[in-house]
Copies of this chain bind each other. A is one copy, B any other.
Amino acid sequence: MFSIGQLSERTGVKIPTIRYYEQMGLIDVPERSEGNQRRYTADGLNRLSFIRHSRDLGFSIEDIKGLLELSQHPEKPCHDAHGIAVQHLKNVQDRIAKLRRLEGELKRVSKCDADSVAECAVIEALADHSLCETNH
């Protein structure tokens, strides 16, 4: 049996976050000690580790609920789990693409050797209406 602090140490998930996951229904409500403190089993530890890994990979709480549900039913086809992962991969690739465009833009904007704000390329670029999609 682990206390919440021990669970936290072993999984790297902070204590308030564990309680938050409990509230969100991601982890089972654990047993309590006589003094009303949470007591976890190895099962609880494994489940929390699963959640931790999933969060590290950027899966949302909702995604993780789905993945956990699936992991409890080993006889089901893995098609759904695969789908969640692939969808998430697409999201990540989208975000990378967007950030790279941003990076290019910021690099361009940051190339500024002016002395005063009056000629600063950064400020100028931000104020520049030619960037606008709409007409004004």
Contact = CB atoms under 8 A, between A and B. Distances in A.
**Number of identical protomers:** 2
Interface in A1-48: 9-12, 45-46
Contacts of A86: 110
Q: For chain A, what secondary structure do more than half of its interface residues adopt (helix, strand, loop), or is it mixed?
A: helix
Interface string A81-104: 110111011001101100110110
Interface of A: 9-12, 45-46, 49-50, 52-54, 56-58, 67, 70-71, 73-78, 81-82, 84-86, 88-89, 92-93, 95-96, 99-100, 102-103, 105-107, 109-110, 112, 114-120, 122-123, 125-129, 131-136
A117 B12 contact: no
